[in-house]
Amino acid sequence: MAKKRSGNTWGDGLAGQRRPPRRCHGNGRLAIKLGPEGWIFRRNTFTLLTLLARSAGEESTNSHSRLPLSLPKGEIAPVNRLDSTFEKLQAEGKKAFVAYVAAGDPDFDRSLAIMCGLAEAGVDVIEMGLPFSDPLADGIVNQMAAGRALAAGASTAGCLELIREFRQRHETPLVLFTYLNPVFTYGYEKFHQDAAAAGADGILLLDLPPDEAARNADLAQGAGLHHIQLIAPTTPEERVKLLAENSQGFLYALSRTGVTGAHGAPSEGIGQVVDRIKKYTDTPVCVGFGINTPEQAAMVAKVSDGIIVGSAIVKIVENNADDPAVAEKVQSFVSELVAAIR
């Protein structure tokens, strides 16, 4: 378990500050002022990506067919924890368990304790969601978790400190699960570098279109991070091929369409989705969305390389947010699911 910290310190982020009021602009876009960076609001992704390109002195181009930059000749990249973990699982004939947690929920200390408990429960990869005021792809459970974390003073810089604290205790691979806006606000290149330095192994940007993903893949690879791709049952075949062929670490396959949440069982046709992806890559395919029982976990694990459980874990945190033993309750629940796929 994590050692006890004094207070609820969130680095150089929003710690100790009053959370600013939410405001709605005249065009209906919800905004929240996070500090000197200015207003963060629900935005058009193309506009933000164009700003990214211009800030780097580039033209906004459709470079989706471009592969990530390679290392200089003769230089050997360090082995990413994701690669070594999946190679070990494959050699042992085991399936991966990927667990999602909302960073900073319900506060820094207990969030760290929850992450350590997941590692001790036998989780293979931890997916850490950065709290964001406008998580469009998340259902109500994860939205509320982000709200609790922000109310407790969570910030992007503080979440990186959370990773550093975790890394002092465990080597479990860790993937950052976030949206483009917090990364852009923090500083696109700086975020990748700082995340890797803190101990992250990969990044998944939920609202980054595949057609615009090449620049992020370049930055991720340059920092030593894997750029994780997301594929839905409705993703067109050409797009599946593109994402699969440019995949790193593992591929996140959605068991169904819609937002995150434990409601609704995984689709019975998920095996076909996995097979469609596997035509184009040897990268492990893990399936998420709607898995919250040992039976569902075992069913999905049979047709994939691993499972991803998120909202079911976050719901336990929600129901026990005031309980000092919340980390132990999460660990107990996850241990049952891990046992179901081994």
Q: Read off the pLDDT of each residue in 291-309 and give the average, rounded to a whole number.
A: 95
Residue 227 near residue 248 (C-beta atoms within 8 A): yes
Summarize pLDDT for 75-129 with one digit per residue, the tens.
Answer: 555 789 999 999 999 999 999 999 999 999 999 999 999 999 999 999 999 999 9
Segment 241-262, tens digit of pLDDT: 999 998 899 999 998 655 455 4
Contact status, residue 233 vs residue 273, Cβ threshold 8 Å: yes
Residue 127 falls in the annotated catalytic set: yes
Q: How far apart are CA 241 and CA 87, in angstroms?
A: 23
Query: Which residue in the list 107, 109, 127, 161 is annotated as catalytic?
Result: 127
What lies within 8 Å, CB to CB, of 29 at 6+ separation is: 41, 42, 43
The reported pLDDT for the residue numbered 120 is: 98
What per-residue confidence (pLDDT) applies to 18?
36
Q: What is the pLDDT of residue 4?
A: 43
DSSP 27: T
Go through the domains of the chain in sequence order and give each one's CATH number.
22-55 (no CATH), 82-340 (3.20.20.70)
At residue 264, the pLDDT reads 55
Q: State the pTM of this model.
A: 0.78
Contact at 8 Å (CB) between 117 and 330?
A: yes
Predicted confidence at residue 10, as pLDDT, reads: 57
Contact 274, 304 (CB under 8 A): yes
Quote the mean pLDDT of the chain: 80
**Residue 77 CA: distances (Å) to CA of 83, 121, 195, 196:** 12, 30, 17, 14
User: Of 83, 138, 201, 218, which residue is the catalytic one?
Assistant: 138
- Tell me the mean pLDDT in the region 29-57: 38
